[in-house]
Amino acid sequence: MATAEPHRRRGDSRRPQSRPFAPTTGALGPPDPEGVVRSLGLAVDAARRARRAITLVSLEVPSPLDEPALARVATTVRHTVRDTDGLWRDGSTTLLLVLSDTDGPNSEPALARLRLRLRSEGFGAVLMGRAAAAPGISAADLLALAREDRRVISYGSPD
């Protein structure tokens, strides 16, 4: 009786792709809107060259919350998303998250996890908006689309 060897798939021999940008680590730091737009532009260009999708998520923490609360939101976001995703501070109360290798509907499971986690941590009033990078879009346009899409992630008290 002849036995068949396991078949290799074509994708098994390929080298894994490198990351389109390095993950963000360390402290949150001061807001740097110009630096964020430059970094976002580099991420969009790198994703375009590598033919990979990215989704930009804009998070706005309500104004009454203080600096430690913003740091806690950033820590919660970092622990909820993948290591390959980037997180930047855009303003005094805003954060930007770049989800690599996801676009449109494919980003919804990650965003749902993030919404649930933020709500369970008591940050249900955070505003969240997203925009997927279309071919040829500039960083400033992508940022404007994500900001326009912001909505409160949770109404009412956490259950």
The per-residue pLDDT for 158 is 45
Residue 156 has pLDDT above 60, yes or no: no
Structure confidence by residue, pLDDT tens digits, 79-95: 998 888 888 888 888 89
Mean pLDDT estimate for the chain: 80
pLDDT above 70: percentage of residues in the chain: 77
The per-residue pLDDT for 3 is 54
Containing 108, the helix (H) or strand (E) segment is helix 108-120
How do the domains of the chain map onto residue ranges? 32-152
- Of 36, 15, 14, 4, the closest CA to residue 143 belongs to 36
CA-CA distance, 108 to 105, in Å (whole number)?
5
The per-residue pLDDT for 159 is 44
Which option is the CATH number for 32-152: 3.40.190.10, 2.40.30.30, 3.30.70.270, 3.30.1360.40?
Answer: 3.30.70.270
CA 66 from centre of chain: 22
84-108: b or e for each residue (b if 16 or more CB lie within 10 Å)? ebbbbbbeebbbbbbbbbbbeeebe
Of the ranges 61-65, 81-85, 155-159, which is most confident?
81-85
Structure confidence by residue, pLDDT tens digits, 124-147: 889 999 999 888 899 999 999 999
